[in-house]
Amino acid sequence: MYISERKVEEDVNTCNGCLLLPDPDGFTKMLHTILGRSRRVATVAERVVDASDDALYRNGLMAYVHQLKKGNNETKINALKNEGF
């Protein structure tokens, strides 16, 4: 999961670069990549939660997973409004 988180971070940095250099195609591609990777991170985290016996850990991790999913949905909605994603 750490590797996926790092990749998402790298993709966000690349997206920022695409915004600085007017590259809408590169930005759209990287946005798709970020959303896909973050979905995978959420899926892996949910599997970890399912396998854990510690209720406090499960609840805490699920709070982060819900935040991530909400952020993904909001990003998709905004992209559809602004870019024709």
**pLDDT 10s digits, 25-76:** 877 888 888 888 888 888 988 999 999 999 999 999 999 999 999 999 998 8
CB under 8 Å to 33, separation ≥6 — which residues? Answer: 11
Instruction: Give CA angle at 2 (44, 71), nearest 5°.
Output: 60
- pTM score above 0.75: no
